[in-house]
Amino acid sequence: MRWERQRAGTETQPALVGLDDLVRSVAPPEFQGVTFHEVRARSVLNRVPGESLVPFRWTVNPYRGCSHACRYCFARNTHTYLDFDAGADFDSQVVVKVNAPEVLAAQLRKPGWAREHVAMGTNTDPYQRAEGRYALMPGIIRALATSGTPFSVLTKGTVLKRDLPLLRSAAGEVDVGLGVSIALLDPELQRRVEPGTPSPRARLDLVRRARDAGLPCGVMVAPVLPGLTDSAEALDELLAAIAAAGATSATVLALHLRPGAREWYGRWLARDHPELVERYREMYRRGSYVDGRYKRLLAARVGPLLRRHGFARSGDGAAVRPPSDSNPNRPEPRGEQLALL
Ligand code: SF4
């Protein structure tokens, strides 16, 4: 492992950008098959490269690798920067920045910090199972709120329920955005394609709990898996469940397959769904993004379903749910910046 050379007290290599001091590696019995590499980070506030089209400039990722183990995860290739592989290592060798709250608080105190929006859950999941053990997010949330920094969290992890009171209190000080990813409802397919994640029903319950706590909460219906989760019936059922959970917005995105994810997902597809391989080869022949024809087909299918379930397209492209629910404690949707397709 490249960063092992940075082990505290050893002197073999100059520091590499973003790599940190290894404290220890542990494999707790309750996390079968997962090893945590605890590191002391030098920086946890990451600037998004200027050429990126994402609507935020800063991210925080307390973990690298993710035991949620989604076959399609687009962050897989980032694990190769640590000399791990983008497949099973990404799922099972999780780097934990154990000092993330303190380092972040110090970075946010610097006079030059302009309190721009910080996004979490954009690379790996901050509420993956490790968070139940390390509890880094409460300190991170407090550091952001205290410094007056607005932030958002996107997750599949139900560990987030633990922090709802804290998030509610942070929302009194800064803008807080919450998003939950739910790509499908079928539990059998979920076990095969997202084997380490909480069930879709548990994630719907997370949405419900967030809304009952008075927080806006959008759902990312992402990724839509061509030939597996994209039928009108499946999307209709999923959007109905998302609306019933009280989600304030829904965003539907087709699968994209970056290097790393492309190979890992492709291997799974060839084993479990060989009948789809040729179709995928054709749809992703130009690279990571699905071809325009499929995008148009999906948009035509999804548009009426979003309307049917009360998600109206707003001027900025977000699919936002009007505040028609009956819970008076629920705040109005704030129009999260979510692009449809
Ligand atoms: S939860 Fe997100 S970060 Fe974790 S494996 Fe799945 S897609 Fe990747």
Atom of ligand 1 nearest to the CA of 194: 6
Query: Among candidates 95, 57, 56, which has minimal Cα distance to 75?
Result: 95
- Tokens 């968070």 label which residue? 131
Question: CA-CA distance, 161 to 305, in Å (whole number)?
Answer: 29
Report the separation in Å between the CA atom of 142 and the middle of ligand 1, taken as the mean of its atom positions.
24
Strands (E), 195-248: 218-224
> Given ligand 1 and candidates 92, 93, 128, which is best to mutate, with the most ligand atoms within 8 Å of its CB?
128
**Which residues have any ligand 1 atom within 6 Å of their CB?**
66, 68-70, 73, 75, 124-125, 128, 156
DSSP state letter for 159: G
Q: Quick: pLDDT tens for 230-275.
A: 999 999 999 999 999 999 999 999 999 999 999 999 999 999 999 9
Confidence bin at 195 (pLDDT 50/70/90): very high
Pair type for strands 151-155 and 118-120: parallel
User: In which region does residue 337 sit, left (phi positive, over 0), alpha (psi from -120 to 50) or beta (all else)?
Assistant: beta
> Given ligand 1 and candidates 156, 203, 225, 257, which is best to mutate, with the most ligand atoms within 8 Å of its CB?
156
Report the separation in Å between the CA atom of 164 and the middle of ligand 1, taken as the mean of its atom positions.
21
What predicted TM-score, i.e. pTM, was given to this entire model? 0.89
Atom of ligand 1 nearest to the CA of 197: 1
Structural contact between residues 336 and 248, judged by C-beta atoms closer than 8 angstroms:
yes
Report the separation in Å between the CA atom of 14 and the middle of ligand 1, taken as the mean of its atom positions.
31
Q: What is the pLDDT of residue 90?
A: 98
Confidence bin at 339 (pLDDT 50/70/90): very low
Question: CA-CA distance, 229 to 221, in Å (whole number)?
Answer: 10
Confidence bin at 335 (pLDDT 50/70/90): very low
Question: What are the backbone angles phi and psi of residue 292, rounded to the nearest 5°?
Answer: -60, -35
Within a 10 A sphere around the Cβ of 277, how many other Cβ atoms?
12
Give the mean model confidence (pLDDT) for residues 111-132. 97
Instruction: Return the higher-pLDDT residue of 54 and 270.
Output: 270
Report the separation in Å between the CA atom of 91 and the middle of ligand 1, taken as the mean of its atom positions.
9
> Given ligand 1 and candidates 63, 73, 181, which is best to mutate, with the most ligand atoms within 8 Å of its CB?
73
196 pLDDT higher than 90 = yes
**pLDDT over 90 for what percent of the chain?**
83
Question: Which residues, 6+ apart, have CB-to-CB distance to 174 below 8 Å?
Answer: 144, 145, 148, 149, 150, 151
Instruction: Return the higher-pLDDT residue of 20 and 3.
Output: 20
77 pLDDT higher than 90 = yes
